[in-house]
A = this chain, B = another copy of it.
Amino acid sequence: MRTDLIERRRRLLGPNVPTFYDEPVHIVRGEGVWLYDADGRRYLDCYNNVAHVGHCHPKVVEAIARQAGMLNTHTRYLHEGILDYGERLVAKFGHGLSQIILTCTGSEANDIALRMAQAVTGKVGIIATDNTYHGNTTAVAHLSTRRPPIGGWPAHVRRVPAPDSLVAGGCDGAVFAGHVERAVGELEAAGHGFAGLILCPVFANEGLPDVAPGFLDATVAAVRRVGGLVLCDEVQPGFGRLGSHWWGHDWLSFAPDVVSLGKPMGNGHPVAGVVARPEVMAAFREAFGYFNTFGGNPVSCAAALATLEVVEAEGLMDHAARVSAAMLGHLRGLRHPLIAGVRARGQFYAVELARDSLPAPEAAAAVVEAMRGRGILMGRIGRRQHILKLRPPLPFGMDHAAQVAEALQASLDGVPA
Contact = CB atoms under 8 A, between A and B. Distances in A.
A261 interface: no
- Copies of chain A in the complex: 2
Contacts of A30: 70-73
Interface string A115-127: 1001100001000
Contact of A27 (B15, B28, B79, B281): B79
A5 interface: yes
Interface string A3-38: 001101101111111111000111111100001000
Given A147-B287, A289-B147, A294-B268, A51 B73 contact: yes
A157 to B, nearest CB: 12
A87 B10 CA distance: 12
A104 interface: yes
Given A19-B77, A77-B27, A78-B6, A137 B111 contact: yes
A412 B370 CA distance: 72
A331 interface: no
Given A108-B107, A269-B299, A270-B294, A77 B15 contact: no
24 contacts: A8-B83, A12-B99, A13-B82, A13-B86, A14-B99, A19-B77, A26-B77, A27-B71, A29-B71, A48-B74, A51-B72, A56-B68, A58-B69, A61-B68, A72-B267, A104-B108, A104-B294, A114-B138, A136-B292, A146-B289, A147-B288, A269-B294, A269-B299, A270-B300
Q: Nearest 8 A-B pairs (CB), nearest first?
A: A65-B65, A138-B139, A14-B281, A72-B268, A270-B294, A104-B104, A16-B285, A26-B78
